[in-house]
Amino acid sequence: MPDPVHKYDVAIAGGGLAGLTLAAQLRQDDPDLSIAVLERSTVPPPAASHKVGESTVEIGAHYLAETLGLDEHLDNTQLRKFGLRLFFGSGMHDDLSQADELGASKLLPAKSYQVDRGKLEGDLVDILRQRGVSVYDGCVVKSASVNGNGAGHRISVTMNDEPADFRCRWVVDASSRAAVIKRGMHIGKPCDHKMSSAWFRLDKRIAVDDWSQSQEWQEKCNRPRLYSTNHLMGSGYWVWIIPLIDDRTSIGLVADPEIHPLSSFGNFEKFMSWLAGNQPMLADEISSARDTLMDFKFCKNLSQDSDKLWSDQRWALTGEAGVFTDPFYSPGSDFIGISNTFVADLIRRDGLGENCLARSNIYEKIYLSFFESTMSLYEKQYAGFGDFHLMAVKTTWDYAYYWSVLSWLFFRNVLTDLDFLRTVQPRLIAMRALNDTMQAAFRQRAAERIVSEGSGRFVDQTAIPVLYDLNEALLESPADILGELDENCERLTALSPILLSMLANESAVSPGTCSLTGDLARRLN
């Protein structure tokens, strides 16, 4: 008896966040498109399941809330994030108020979320099925025949241990690091940036607010710090503490293996020993909650690259099946949103009979440019992650660049407007060159491996005028977006020498107030 054959317009291999959100976007664009999502695991996944990527920033949050229309759902089922928060010297004190701190004293205007991936993905499965998308679980891809001759693609699977075939016009690999289609095409390539990570969940809330009894320190923020993505920083590493719904906590470590090899923290006991030597306050918190441990996972060589991402031959990669940068700054859902936007547009145009060869090549070039630009934020910089002064300057630039350029392009919905992108290309190239200059300076300082011991300094990033203004502007609807981009470029051009001066000679920086950086220089001194 022949294997059953299932025919669809689009088959998506992988039912994680990338695949489910792409299906939602495709269904939103075309209610008549037949879509299948093929997921290896059982769906819905359990809450607080074995998935990282809980912290979103502005692009990813905007994609989920506005592009996919999940704003109210996220507000009701997930946690509003209190920004990214970095502590320096926390491992040298028994009171967190004595560490140096970078973070916000109040919420920034543009929303972001702490997302329980298991809960969100389960909700997306329900939403998709209600909208007529076929979501198959227990579906293991055995082989994929990607045909560029117009005959359509064939995916052979076992579904609940029974063989089956899927035939489709478009096939998308959204299977994360399994990369079930990408591997068969032999288009993956290694990255020189080879960070390692380990992480776990506790069925207990870990609140950094409890790590100090200082009333003055508590009052510096108008809401609990626990809602931030809290980072404990050190040379060659950072530790995350992320709150999840139902009072659970995600904890993880990302490290440069040349400084902190994975062998030193690759299982829970080793992780605890590593924390005891580097971040004892967190080690003590976890020790008292060992019985709430939910899971433990690790991964080496986090960054992923690819020679090719999508094609006019009706195949595409999205999410980590394509490329992945680094978890610092939480860009994972950003790249899902951007990639899905390009892929969905290609599928829509192909359905209208458009020849997408040139457009697919241009989209790929743009996306890989974003990937390379984002990678520059991390490459050869982990050694400086314990340097409060460097990171105060670096985060100011990195946030400003992110909100001025990449976030701006996404929020203004111009990523697929090729005429507009051609017009602004010279500006984008100039800003990319300026960013390269800044990252080179940060790399040079990072090589010194300065470690701040912590002296209770607090840099309030909402008090840095350029950062607050750029974040707030993302939510506006300007009549002249070209003029707005010009203003963003002018601000970045003016900001660059100010920050380079702060970086190069701390004592020479004027302690006065600057219209762009506020009193940042005084706080650093």
Residues 369 and 493 in one domain: no
Last-in-domain residue among 238, 270, 299: 299
Q: Which residues pair with 321 in a beta bridge?
A: none
pTM over 0.85: yes
Q: Which residues pair with 295 in a beta bridge?
A: 201
Give domain status of residue 361, yes or no.
yes
Residues 43 and 121 in one domain: yes
Last-in-domain residue among 348, 377, 406: 377
CATH number, domain containing residue 149: 3.50.50.60
CATH number, domain containing residue 215: 3.30.9
Give domain status of residue 362, yes or no.
yes
Residues 417 and 497 in one domain: yes
Residues 95 and 153 in one domain: no
Give domain status of residue 453, yes or no.
no
Residues 215 and 162 in one domain: no
For residues 380 and 306, the answer to whether their CB atoms sit within 8 Å is: no
**Going residue by residue through the chain (525 aa), what tens digit of pLDDT does each one get?**
446 789 999 999 999 999 999 999 999 999 999 999 999 998 877 665 667 778 999 999 999 999 999 999 999 999 999 999 999 999 999 999 999 999 999 999 999 999 999 899 999 999 999 999 999 999 999 988 887 666 689 999 999 889 999 999 999 999 999 999 898 899 999 899 999 999 999 999 999 999 999 999 999 999 999 999 999 999 999 999 999 999 999 999 999 999 999 999 999 999 999 999 999 999 999 999 999 999 999 999 999 999 999 998 999 999 999 999 999 999 999 999 999 999 999 999 999 999 999 999 999 999 999 999 999 999 999 999 999 999 999 999 999 999 999 999 999 999 999 999 999 999 999 999 999 999 999 999 999 999 999 999 999 999 999 999 999 999 999 999 999 999 999 999 999 999 999 998 755 556 566 899 999 998 887
For residues 221 and 105, the answer to whether their CB atoms sit within 8 Å is: yes
Residues 182 and 36 in one domain: yes
Last-in-domain residue among 333, 358, 377: 377
Residues 34 and 152 in one domain: yes
Cα torsion through 332, 118, 243, 336, rounded to 10: 10
Residue in the block written with tokens 């498109």: 33
Give domain status of residue 214, yes or no.
yes
Residues 167 and 137 in one domain: yes
Residue in the block written with tokens 């560490």: 99
| Domain that includes residue 199, residue range | 79-114+195-299
Give domain status of residue 460, yes or no.
no
Helix (H, G, I), strand (E, B) or coil at 131: coil
For residues 471 and 108, the answer to whether their CB atoms sit within 8 Å is: yes
Continuous H helices in 257-331? 268-278, 280-287
- Of 279, 250, 327, nearest to 88 by C-alpha is 279
Give domain status of residue 39, yes or no.
yes
Distance CA 277, CA 138 (A): 42
User: 3-state SS string over 423-467?
Assistant: HHHHHHHHHHHHHHHHHHHHHHHHCCCCCCCCCCCEEEHHHCHHH
Helix (H, G, I), strand (E, B) or coil at 56: coil
For residues 317 and 177, the answer to whether their CB atoms sit within 8 Å is: no
Taking the CB of residue 410, how many other CB atoms lie within 10 A of it?
22
Give domain status of residue 292, yes or no.
yes
Give domain status of residue 464, yes or no.
no
Residues 159 and 259 in one domain: no
Residues 344 and 261 in one domain: no
The crossing angle, in degrees rounded to 10, of helices 481-504 and 388-401 is 170
Domain count along the chain = 3
Residues 172 and 253 in one domain: no
Residues 509 and 430 in one domain: yes
Q: Which residues pair with 306 in a beta bridge?
A: 188
For residues 509 and 525, the answer to whether their CB atoms sit within 8 Å is: yes
- Kind plus residue range of the DSSP H or E element containing 364: helix 357-375
